[in-house]
Amino acid sequence: MQQIGRQARAASRIIATANRGQKDRALEAIAQQLESNVAALVSANAKDLAAGKEKGLEAALLDRLALTESGVAAMAEGCRQVASLADPVGEISDMSYRPSGIQLGKMRVPLGVIGIVYESRPNVTVDAAILCLKSGNATILRGGSEAIHSNQAIASCIAAGLSDVGLPEHVVQVIDTTDRQAVGELITMPEYVDVIVPRGGKGLIERISRDASVPVIKHLDGICHVYIDKEAEFDKAMAIAINSKTHRYGVCNAMETLLVHESRAQEILPPLCEQYREHGVELRGCEKTAAITDVVPATEDDWSTEYLAPILSIRVVDDFNHALDHIAQYSSGHTESIVSENYTTNRAFIQRVDSSSVMVNASTRFADGFEYGLGAEIGISTDKLHARGPVGLEGLTSQKYVVYGNGHIRK
């Protein structure tokens, strides 16, 4: 691992100053390598799938592990999309003269070496590598052992693409070991790794955050709320509550708890719950909800559970402050949305809810790198430091101060 770290550090110096043209040509070369090696990729993946079946992996895991021809085409397409994004590196902002006469600005620069630790999806290998590449960073990737053949086949394509345009292959290194110790070393080498981005389940992320001595950009729970206010417009409330829950279930920006102002519960809950039932959503509710419509009684645990499934907890709240209190107590700080026509209530919601995305009259499903125009995302940070919310290319960079003088000295 020390050797891999040293190689990454050396490669990071080169990729940090590569110009946009060269990085974009590398992305195109990687796309072409993936396309021309589609058969090899699918057959490497078949080995992983066979081994997975033998080991008795769950169907859902096998599904995530699978790489088809169209999956490879999507990875190549991803490379070309990232190539089309603006290069954040070198962007200078806030340039101005100070009273001393120096001219001061901030220049965006790569972070250096980014370690990615992830689970079974092999497409993460490409997704993460190309975002880091475009933002001028070297990457060390450590995927799940169950995807080892797929990841190595993908790594070969990336290495070949880098080499095609004269960039060092060590810009992207896929750790080819399946031993668990490698992760432990990767996340404790601050001299070689500048940040760790874990991608996977909560267990993985908590373990890495606990053990890492390198900073971690975390993507923890999405316990997202929609609050239907006293002054909500009925149609907007219905549309947003349905869309936030049922558009997709297994995603972090899906609503897990619906809060409804007591004065509107009788009117809104019966038709809304009817629609949820049509979508096959299991409903769990507080006592007041249960008095209005047929729900399973919600327990205390329900308020702090990320279902990632067609299950919804519903709570009738006394007023706006009760909704804020519930959110402050149970939200994971990912995304919350209010449905209201009241100017002052909406401003207070925006100001007082401390989540990475705070919305008015919009579905929580919009909290997403593509929807936010980042082009692509490496994750959605639930941290407050450095990067918060969807993390795109900019989140993989830092800024340094640049000073232009003409012989200026401090008096």
Q: Give yes or no for residue 357 binding a second copy (CB under 8 A).
A: yes
Q: Give yes or no for residue 406 binding a second copy (CB under 8 A).
A: yes
Q: 3-class DSSP state for residue 75?
A: helix
CB of 57 to a second copy, least distance (A): 31
Q: Give yes or no for residue 202 binding a second copy (CB under 8 A).
A: no
Q: Which two tokens stand for residue 364?
A: 């929580």
Show contacts with a second copy in window 361-380 (CB under 8 A).
361-363, 365-367, 371-373
- Pick 163 or 275: Cβ nearer a second copy: 275
- x/- mask, a second copy, residues 168-197, rule CB under 8 A, reads --------------------------xx--
Q: Which two tokens stand for residue 350?
A: 């925006």
Determine which residue in the list 84, 213, 299, 344 makes contact with a second copy, applying CB under 8 A: 213
Determine which residue in the list 112, 115, 198, 379 makes contact with a second copy, applying CB under 8 A: 112
CB of 401 to a second copy, least distance (A): 4
Choose the stretch contacting a second copy; rule: CB under 8 A; options: 101-109, 117-125, 167-175, 289-297: 101-109
- Pick 1 or 193: Cβ nearer a second copy: 193
Question: In 93-172, which ranges are continuous DSSP H helix?
Answer: 123-134, 148-164
In the chain the first and final C-alpha atoms are separated, in Å, by 49
Determine which residue in the list 43, 68, 100, 344 makes contact with a second copy, applying CB under 8 A: 100
Distance (Å, whole) CA 44 – CA 308: 30
Distance of CA 98 to the CA centre of its chain: 38
Q: Hey, what long-range contacts does 344-353 have (CB within 8 A, 24 or more apart)?
A: 345/229, 345/231, 345/320, 348/320, 349/227, 349/320, 349/324, 352/324, 353/324, 353/327
Q: Give yes or no for residue 13 binding a second copy (CB under 8 A).
A: yes
- Pick 308 or 360: Cβ nearer a second copy: 360
Q: Give yes or no for residue 311 binding a second copy (CB under 8 A).
A: no
Q: 3-class DSSP state for residue 379?
A: strand
Query: Which pairing describes strands 103-110 and 92-97: parallel, antiparallel, or unpaired?
Result: antiparallel
- Pick 13 or 47: Cβ nearer a second copy: 13
Angle 293-299-304 from CA coordinates, rounded to 5°: 110
Q: Other CB atoms closer than 10 Å to residue 118's CB: what's the count?
A: 22
CB of 70 to a second copy, least distance (A): 22
Show contacts with a second copy in window 315-344 (CB under 8 A).
328, 337
In single-letter form, the type of residue at position 350 comes to: I
In single-letter form, the type of residue at position 49 comes to: L
DSSP class of 216? B
- x/- mask, a second copy, residues 27-56, rule CB under 8 A, reads ------------------------------
Contacts of 219 (CB under 8 A, 6+ apart): 198, 199, 205, 252, 379, 380, 381, 382
Q: Give yes or no for residue 16 binding a second copy (CB under 8 A).
A: yes
Determine phi and psi for 197, rounding to 5 degrees.
-115, 105
Show contacts with a second copy in window 216-255 (CB under 8 A).
233, 235-236, 239-240, 242-244, 247
Contacts of 11 (CB under 8 A, 6+ apart): 138, 168, 170, 171
CB of 385 to a second copy, least distance (A): 4
Distance (Å, whole) CA 286 – CA 302: 10
Place of tokens 């001393």: 100
Q: Which two tokens stand for residue 123?
A: 């497409």
Q: 3-class DSSP state for residue 134?
A: helix
- Pick 249 or 372: Cβ nearer a second copy: 372
The residue among 8, 163, 147 whose CA lies nearest residue 71 is 147
Determine which residue in the list 4, 30, 109, 140 makes contact with a second copy, applying CB under 8 A: 109
Q: Give yes or no for residue 91 binding a second copy (CB under 8 A).
A: no
Q: Give yes or no for residue 360 binding a second copy (CB under 8 A).
A: yes
Interface contacts to a second copy, rule CB under 8 A: 13, 16-17, 90, 96, 98, 100, 102, 104, 107, 109, 111-112, 194-195, 210, 213, 215, 233, 235-236, 239-240, 242-244, 247, 328, 337, 350-352, 354-363, 365-367, 371-373, 383-386, 388-390, 398-410
